[in-house]
Structure 1
Amino acid sequence: MKADLLIAGGGLGGCAAAMAACSKGIKVIMTEETDWIGGQVTSQGVPPDEHRWIEKFGCTKRYRDYREKVRATYLNTMQIKENGEFLNPGNGLVSNICHDPRVTLHVLNDMLLSYELTGQLVILRHTKVYSVQKEGSRVHKITLTNEETGVKEEIEAPFYIDATEAGDLLPLAGMAYVTGAEAKSETGEPHALETADPSDIQAFTYVLGMEYRAGEDHTIPEPDMYSFWRTFHPDIWPDKLLSFHAPHPVTKEKRTYTLFKGGEGFPLWEYRRIFDRSQFDTPYHAGDVTLMNWPQNDYFLGNIYDVSEEDKKKNLYQGKQLSLSLLYWLQTEAPRPDGGKGYPGLMLRKDLFETEDGLAKAAYIRESRRIKAEYTIVEQDVSPDFNEGKTGKRYEDRVGVGSYSIDLHPSMAGKTYLDIKALPFYIPLGALIPKDADNLLAGCKNIGSTHITNGCYRLHPVEWNIGEACGALVAYCLKHQTKPKEVREDRRLLKHFQQVLQEDGFELEWRF
């Protein structure tokens, strides 16, 4: 098979890259390891984490179109009790648009459908990269394997985008990359470690969905590892992991949680609630639905990339067991405000992800392998301690904007949270371009960030912007017979490319 562009990975970055490239007439092949495109917001079950200006500005036009289509799906298919202009389907605390992952799956498939119908876009599901043939600074060929059939297929393309969740093309291509935490001597970052630690990688999480049906009993069978997880007390935790106590992300002090609003502590149920039944008129008496992506089910006992296949399988299994054990603990042992124990009315919604165990199709990976980039984003670029004014460093080669605090979860190396302020920031083109490849771009969380700045560049609107910029750059390079590095280094080309981006709905300035 041949194409103008191969995108490895069908997450938000990959989908956005495909939209941008296809809109310019580029023929694209995109792979996806599961049967769902959408990555962290669909197969991994994490509703969009966004900034406070998102309804007005601070993202690309296509990302805004995506958000509007999510709301329109509810408005067109459900009976909404009130004005749905700014509908938040779940009234979740984490986002203005907490919604069912199946809705985003529908929206993304719809946004890409016209390109699939003409054969311009081919999406290869259940497919991952098996090998990469790279000579010098160019990737020449990629071999794909279908995980269901075992059939292998070679793809040749002028350009490639690694939009996999963990930067999987980088080791296969023999490229230089970074994992974990850099040393302070290397980055100069105030919060960097004194000595680099490649194993200091943030926890991954297996998300599951729950509906609450009071007065009913939906207790699951006791998970195989429940006896282990119910007594597990990490050194970095103020209590057992399966409890209503965890470190406060900012102060590190003991923080109390509760399941439902009205108890003493932060209400976990409302945090990532994706269906608030009070907003809808339905003929069926459905309960509220939430997604379990909480401090208590972050798995930090081992990684799932750059480890042996045996360790990967073990950690994936134990991560699943942790989430199921937390659900079982909530159903049977969690203390209630009335003095009782357990909430048996919590029902595991297996239909939510179409999986037999009820867990998300894939683990939510916060921190990927990261390219050795033409430019590496450091803490100083986004910190209010190093920048005057309202934004972080205003790169000359900026291709987008984003905003989020530096939010690092507990790590495989036994480090606790790091949650510090970051200014609204810009996305530099140089962070998307590897030093050691001319025709491969980073289109996901694998850009040239550090362990620390990954904490604010890994969120949904930013990943989308990164992928969309990569797709637009490939189209630009093909049209003008140039290379990504040349676009960045030639001021005339760079300004023209940025003009093309702005005409296509990219925001290169903050509007406040």
Structure 2
Amino acid sequence: MSLTARHRLNCLIAAILLGNVGAALANDEVAPPVIEADLLVVGGAESGCAAAVQAARMGVKRIVLVNDTNWVGGQFSSEALGAIDENRAHEYNGKVPIPRSGLFREVIDAMEDKNEELYGVRRPGNTRVITTCRPVIANEVFEALLQPYEASGQIQRFSNLRVKSVTVQDSRVKAVTFEPLAESATPLKVHAQLTIDASDWGDVIKLSGAPYDFGLDARSEYGEPRAQESPEPNTDVNPITWCMILVAQTEEALIPQPAGYDERDFLGQWKWIDDKFNFASRRLVDGKALKDRQQADIYLINNPQVDYPLDVFTADVAAALEAMEAGASKKQFVDLTPQQREIVFRDARLRTLQYLYFMQQKYPSFRTMAMSDEFGTADKLPPKPYVRESLRLKALHMIKEQEVVGAGAQSNYAQTMFADGVFSWQFELDFHPTARKWLSSEGAAGPWDATFRGQRKFGVGGTGLSIFPLRSFVPQEMDGLLGAQKNLGYTSIVSSSCRLHDQSMAAGQACGAVAAVSLLKDVSPREMWRDPQYLAEVWTGLLTQKDAAAVVIWPFNDVDPYDDGFVAIQQLAVRRLFPLAPHETSFRPDAPAEAEWVAEVVKHIQSQGYDCAVNAIMPTKTRREAAIALWKAIQSQPIPAYERQSPDDADGDGIADANDALPFTAGETSWK
């Protein structure tokens, strides 16, 4: 090992050990205080905040939200992903295939309001995504989202705490104990009836003993067309990225050469990424385009040059891990201790600083780019890395690639439109480079870049208009626990398409609704998908938002959540009361309510067991008015019970309910 590498190794180990002395002492000094809660939400990223707020809005009284930083909002804020990624069909065209909705719509509207105050325009980025927002502003928006419920006492929030242990009794999560990460924090134990794991790495799921997946899925496991034959290496996941925010200056703002800098790290396959690409692809504020305002350009740096694979580690990182524990460098990332993860995180941060130094040396335009000081960190980087893929909960249903691809075309509905769907999404099957490639004969001691493994690469196909099932929040073998954020019941391939800002918020909001119904109705989440009345409670919770945007559950592409007919249209659609073909993704609310169409819909509703007559809704001028009248006619009726063909196979199709994506529809696809 070279002197430079040995110096870096010693620094890594010393920093980690010193950084955890305070926490260790605090844990030894006093027993943690105990708080009783109805709902514990672990993780203050976008999904955790959404879950807590939705549960509060539905009437859960005692909610505890525990976060490992003092920033809230995850991708939007502490991970610095200020160029907002959201549902997308085939290309960046300034449009979304599903209307913005729910809490995502609320925070986006608030961020755009803030942009207008600051810059005079709602969307100042002039870049490939629709909306951009500085992370510090996003944090303020999430603080404001939580504030009314914190003020009322419904939500108690604790910051700078991480999961230490999980108490399990009779296969049920009973409590979670937290240890402090800052001097201002103190140890804490929370007893809760129900816990949502919205942490970055699924720490509650892991420590509870609930089964989970991590890394590649073999083709034989789920039958996915794009899966590899072998699940090796089992450490292969979508990489983390330590993003940075740069602000243009009038003078040079050069940083000193970071430790371990090697120009060759950035001369591999991604050397084509130049200053112009960085400036155009993820610009947060285009200061030069703003009229009558003096405003600097602001940029997010997030590209493959700073992607950080977790499959194998460099020699110095591996040595630091091995110095802590023999074999640690070969472990899956989620199986590392927090102290071991910190070794990896410090190297990922260093990689980003090295890249900035490289760009400043190579491009004059970068020499006047200064790192933003909005995060308040010593190195001016955000508190957290951008996490694309966590562990994946072994849930009642694992969503598979073949279930979410479009039925006949990518622009159509997905092959499988789950009966227990609770939110909708669409995106590419999209992996950033998951493999670390050595660029010289020095191997792990030399330069490297990030590369693709097999078919795990950018935009290899995409999903249809998909819906997410309630079952994929619920562990197969653990009660008192739900997964959220990216700790969900899907395969690695599907996770690559359901991980964006809006999707993570929708997952959290839907999970919060499931938790609320479970707590308020005293029913286990694992039973809710079987009973349409409980599903109806979840749907109503997501669709009934006072002075706020409801959630798009069924992905019609042309009905906005603020449309007068939105709730009625959604309530009918989630019950499958519109006769639809895979390509009929538009509802056309302003189209005439033709008598033939109304008669067909009424006949279909009657065939599902509802009492509904044509004369109860005619005459109506538009489809919107017809939907409102139809919903008014049946909304007080219970959802007709499904006549089970057998105790374990409701639809009698030979696929046991436990393995059936569509337990109430014969076959494996929603379309005939």
Scaled by the length of structure 1, the TM-score of the pair is: 0.87
Counterpart of 2:552 in structure 1 is: 507
Q: Find the aligned partners of 2:555 and 2:341 in 1 and give their Cα distance.
A: 41
Hey, what's the Cα distance between the residues in 2 that align with 1:326 and 1:108?
Answer: 30
Structure 2 residue identity aligned to 1:32:
N
Measured in 1, the distance between the counterparts of 2:510 and 2:261 equals 45
> Which of 235, 242, 251 matches 1:199?
235
Q: 1:176 aligns with which of 211, 220, 224?
A: 211
Matched, 1:327 2:356: yes
For 1:235-384, what aligned pairs fall within 5 Å after superposition? 239-240=267-268, 244-245=271-272, 257-260=273-276, 267-280=277-290, 285-300=294-309, 301-302=312-313, 304-307=333-336, 311-334=340-363, 343-349=366-372, 351-384=373-406
Task: Read off the aligned partner of 2:371 and give its amino acid letter.
Answer: L
Q: Which residue of 2 aligns with 1:223?
A: 258
CA distance in 2, matches of 1:408, 1:232: 21
Give distance in 1, aligned partners of 2:505 and 2:337.
31
Aligned with 2:165: secondary structure?
strand
Contact 1:30 1:124 in 2 (8 A): yes
2:162 to 121, 128, 136: 128
Distance 1:388 1:281 in 2: 40
CA contact (8 A) 1:5 1:157 kept: yes
Give a deviation string over 1:321-377, Cα, whole Å, max 9, x none.
11111100111124xxxxxx673112122x232212011111111110110011111
SS at match of 1:364: coil
Cα distance, 1:472 vs structure 2? 1.0
1:449 aligns with 2:490: yes
Secondary structure of the 1:295 match is coil
Counterpart code for 2:160: H
Superimposed CA distance per residue, residues 193-236 of structure 1 (whole angstroms, 9 cap, x where no aligned partner):
1111321112111111112235x211100000212xx2237xxx
- Alpha-carbon distance, 1:92 to partner: 2.5
More helix by share: 2
Q: Please list, as runs of the form range in 1=range in 2, the aligned pairs for 1:80-91 lying within 5 A after superposition.
A: 80=120, 84=121, 87-91=122-126
Aligned-partner residue type, residue 363 of structure 1: P
Decide whether the 8 Å contact of 1:90 with 1:276 is kept in 2: yes
Structure 1: how far apart are the matches of 2:115 and 2:342? 38
Across the aligned residues of Structure 1 and Structure 2, the Cα RMSD in angstroms comes to 2.2
SS of structure 1 residue aligned to 2:497: helix
Higher mean C-alpha deviation, range 59-68 or range 49-58: 49-58
Deviation digits for residues 259-302 of structure 1, max 9, x if unmatched? Answer: 12xxxxxx22121111111354576x442010111111001154
Pair 180,282 (structure 1): closer, same or farther in 2 beyond 3 Å = farther
Give the distance between the partners of 2:306 and 2:97, measured in 1 at CA: 33
Give the conservation status (yes or no) of the 8 Å contact 1:206–1:364: yes
How many residues were matched structurally? 471
Q: 1:413 to 1:297 in 2, by over 3 A?
A: closer
Query: What residue in structure 2 maps to residue 264 of structure 1?
Result: none
* Cα separation, partners in 2 of 1:55 and 1:193, compared to 1, 3 Å: closer
Kept in 2, the 8 Å contact 1:199–1:412? The answer is no
- 1-structure distance, mates of 2:119, 2:100: 29
In terms of mean alpha carbon deviation, does 308-317 or 429-438 score higher? Answer: 308-317
What secondary structure, in the 3-state scheme, does the structure 2 residue paired with 1:232 have? Answer: helix
Q: Which amino acid aligns with 2:349?
A: K
Is the 1:209–1:292 Cα contact (8 Å) retained in structure 2? yes
User: What residue is the counterpart of 1:249 in the other structure?
Assistant: none
Which of 175, 181, 187 matches 1:141? 175
Partner of 1:394: 417
Partners of 1:309 and 1:108 in 2: how far apart? 26
In structure 2, do the counterparts of structure 1 residues 9 and 29 end up closer, same or farther at CA, with 3 Å as the change threshold?
same
Greater length-normalized contact order (CA 8 Å, ≥ 6 residues apart): 1
TM-score (norm 2): 0.67
Query: What is residue 209 of structure 1 aligned with on the other side?
Result: 245
- Paired letter, 1:316: F
Moved more, 485-494 or 14-23: 485-494
Cα 1:36–1:310 shift into 2, 3 Å: closer
> Which amino acid in the other structure matches residue 243 of structure 2?
V
> Who is 1:464 aligned against?
505
Deviation at 1:433, TM superposition (A): 0.9
Report Cα offsets for 1:58-86 as digits up to 9, x if no partner: 443322121111111122x3251xxx4xx
Q: Relative to structure 1, is the Cα distance of residues 413 and 395 closer, same or farther in structure 2, using a 3 angstrom cutoff?
A: farther
Work out whether 1:78 is the aligned partner of 2:112: no
Distance across 1 between alignment mates of 2:297 and 2:490? 38
Give the AA of the match of 1:232. D
Per the alignment, residue 45 of structure 2 pairs with 11
Given the superposition, is the C-alpha separation of residues 172 and 412 from structure 1 closer, same or farther in structure 2, using an over 3 Å criterion? Answer: farther
Of 409, 419, 424, which aligns to 2:459? Answer: 419
Inter-CA distance 281–110: structure 2 relative to 1 (3 Å threshold): farther
Judging changes above 3 Å, is the alpha-carbon distance between structure 1 residues 310 and 466 closer, same or farther for their aligned structure 2 residues? closer
Deviation at 1:137, TM superposition (A): 2.8
Distance 1:36 1:110 in 2: 12
Report the 3-state secondary structure (helix = DSSP H, G, I; strand = E; otherwise coil) of the residue aligned with 2:490: coil
Consecutive unaligned residues of structure 2, counting only runs of 5 or more, are 1-34, 89-93, 314-331, 438-450, 557-585, 587-672
* 1:298 alignment partner AA: D
1:79–1:142 CA distance, 2 compared to 1 (3 A): closer
Distance in structure 2 (CA, Å) of the matches to 1:281 and 1:120: 44
Cα distance in 2 between the residues matched to 1:507 and 1:385: 20
**How many Å apart are 1:408 and its aligned residue?**
0.7
Q: Secondary structure at the match of 2:36?
A: coil
Gap runs ≥5 in structure 1? 234-238, 246-256, 261-266, 335-340
Tell me, in whole angstroms, the C-alpha distance in 2 between the residues paired with 1:100 and 1:125: 21
Task: State the Cα distance separating 1:107 from its structure 2 match.
Answer: 0.9
Helix, strand or coil: the match of 2:370? strand
Q: Which residue of 2 aligns with 1:32?
A: 67
Q: Does 1:434 align with 2:468?
A: no
In the aligned structure 2, how far is the partner of 1:342 from the partner of 1:325?
17
Residue 37 of structure 1 aligns to a residue whose secondary structure is coil
Residue of structure 1 in register with 2:530 after alignment: 489
The letter of the residue matching 1:104 is: A
Matched residue, 2:134: 100
